[in-house]
A and B are shown apart, each in its own frame.
Chain A
């Protein structure tokens, strides 16, 4: 039983990370109706940039700051060069445009900082310890803590601050928001900046675990099922679904995996997603689209 809890808790810690990546998607989708396939590439770019700055022997805080700076430039250029000309196009086109952004980011990032896999060490120790017989390590705990903090502050930002409320207004109704004087493009840019910061944290966390390389962009694939389980436009949905997926896939890998040959982590979240969507076509917390004739 202790082993079960150990697996469960490690799964939940992983789940918080998934929530974080999914949150990046959900934020952009809510604010601009764009389903951003480049979210994973943004994390890759952030990871590459951070390693690059660290290799130039910047101190950690400065390197992080410069990375965030790059994400801000990226956010503004995406909004003004890609999204602005595509305003009022069908969502499918915007979705496809983010495919283009994904290729661009991967190409540009790797052109500047190279394609080799790099280690990323930002000085968080990895010490394993036991609480009541449950094995955990400081590294996972630290990042789960950071992720939880970020999630909490985002919720606070959207619920309590003036800017946050303006962004929520934009997401509810573009035209109505415009008519009360909220500048749409600026609101989008702010959202993309936030998503960029979320991507940076995710990139750093996963990069230090797996190394910074091309496949870092694939963490998006982990977050996508999380997103549709929770409902694309729901922030609490992303958080809860992340925990479900993290716990579910870890438990499945440990307890079912050995019987079927292992490696089921890659697709198990999608199975959960298909199951949930069968009963709730708009996810657990997603807004249902009611059709009118």
Chain B
């Protein structure tokens, strides 16, 4: 079987506008789904599931949210981790303090985050470019301060809230595999919605704003509305991701986990993975989660215990080096590399 567009005719627009118009892509996607839904939970160790796959999915979700804002709508935010914090604290308070069921609590975390995000997106109506980028840092510092200093939010000192045990309809989510399924299902659902958004009219409006904002407005795109929607959707994803990672991985909401360096790392993820692609969000997040483990493993061959400072330094060097390298060599990230390979496959074995 070849990877081909031809011989594969579409007789209506619906199939031409499908997410994967080429059959082999569709099969590949199904294989990935089976892998994620069945093979990994059955075969992977608890360590892999709870310490690698769960944070990977959560960061991918958050990176996708940032990608909507930066990669599609062209409005960069350098305070994105703060919205993960908003989602985390909001859902914990809803679930733990007010006894609202788990799934509505997580959704609530996303909605609160989206509301806060829309508020901090308001400057985008008047300012743009670097001025906007820096003013998004305001969200990071203001949210951090509110969480640490308002006792109502953090419920105590140091801004830490423990995550209570999770239950859905009386069914306890206590094993890594069960948590994994929770994260995976929500993630798949949200990514599907996101894919529909970015390939639909809203996504096209966003890209128009990103490419030439004044032309978009003259053509009839409602700049203000669509920019704010981009902030809302993007921070909604961040909020859900923050809530999931707190419930299923950290076990407690701690403001240190949503530090400004996490915001920077999210930007790094979407650059390395690929701006404006969904695949890129996953590749970038996967890279970010796996990098320290890979370094640890390879250094482990030389020494028994790898000191954490050396680990984090090497991590920073590789992460930074790759950001620069990708921007120079392949500005559209790993996702573009993948597309280049696919383009070659389309012509294989007769490239000329």
Contacts and interface: CB of A to CB of B under 8 A. Distances in A.
Nearest to A78: B324
Contacts of B305: none
B315 interface: yes
Contacts of B127: 277, 281-282
Interface stretch (A63-71, A100-108, A121-129): A100-108
Given A266-B145, A274-B138, A99 B264 contact: yes
Interface in A261-292: 261-264, 266-267, 270-271, 273-274, 277-278, 281-283, 286, 291
Given A86-B328, A263-B145, A267-B138, A277 B317 contact: no
Interface in B317-331: 317-325, 327-328, 331
Given A266-B144, A277-B131, A96 B317 contact: no
Interface stretch (A52-60, A159-167, A193-201, A219-227): A219-227
Contact of B320 (A86, A103, A291): A103
A99 B323 contact: yes
Instruction: Give the contact-size bracket for chain A.
Output: 35 or more
Interface in A34-68: 35
B155 interface: no
A228 B320 contact: no
B133 interface: yes
A interface, over-half SS: helix
B8 interface: no
A92 interface: yes
B156 interface: no
Given A267-B138, A267-B145, A107 B313 contact: yes
A266 B131 contact: no
A228 B149 CA distance: 27
B314 A111 contact: yes
A152 interface: no
B134 A107 contact: no
A35 B130 contact: yes
A107 B323 CA distance: 14
A253 to B, nearest CB: 12
Contact of A85 (B129, B268, B321, B328): B328
B141 A96 contact: no
Nearest to A29: B130
B123 A104 contact: no
Interface string B250-288: 000000000010001001100100000000000000000
A114 to B, nearest CB: 7
A102 B134 contact: no
Interface in A203-234: 218, 221, 224-225, 227-228, 232
A261 B149 contact: yes
B interface, over-half SS: helix
Contact of A95 (B123, B131, B133, B264): B133
A176 interface: no
A281 B316 contact: no
B264 to A, nearest CB: 6
Residue of A82, A232, A267 with most partner-chain B CB within 10 A: A267
Interface residues of B, number: 48
Contacts of B318: 107
A110 B316 CA distance: 10
B148 interface: yes
B137 A271 contact: no
A86 B134 contact: no
B214 interface: yes
Given A104-B321, A270-B142, A273-B138, A115 B309 contact: yes
A111 B271 contact: no
B320 A232 contact: no
B317 A111 contact: yes
A293 B214 contact: yes
B131 A107 contact: no
A100 B149 contact: no
A271 to B, nearest CB: 7
B317 A104 contact: yes
Interface in B294-317: 309-310, 312-317
B303 to A, nearest CB: 15
Given A86-B327, A89-B331, A228-B134, A263 B320 contact: no
Contacts of A102: 264, 320
Given A103-B316, A291-B214, A270 B138 contact: yes
Nearest to A266: B141
B76 A103 contact: no
A182 interface: no
9 contacts: A35-B130, A100-B271, A107-B315, A227-B134, A228-B134, A228-B135, A232-B130, A273-B138, A274-B138
Given A100-B320, A107-B312, A107-B314, 7 more contacts: A107-B313, A110-B309, A115-B312, A260-B149, A267-B138, A270-B138, A281-B131
Interface of B: 74, 76, 123, 126-131, 133-135, 137-138, 141-142, 144-145, 148-150, 214-215, 218, 260, 264, 267-268, 271, 309-310, 312-325, 327-328, 331
Interface of A: 29, 35, 82, 85-86, 89, 91-93, 95-97, 99-108, 110-111, 114-115, 218, 221, 224-225, 227-228, 232, 260-264, 266-267, 270-271, 273-274, 277-278, 281-283, 286, 291, 293
Q: Which 6 pairs show the lowest CB-CB distances between chains A and B? A: A103-B320, A100-B323, A107-B316, A270-B138, A107-B317, A104-B320
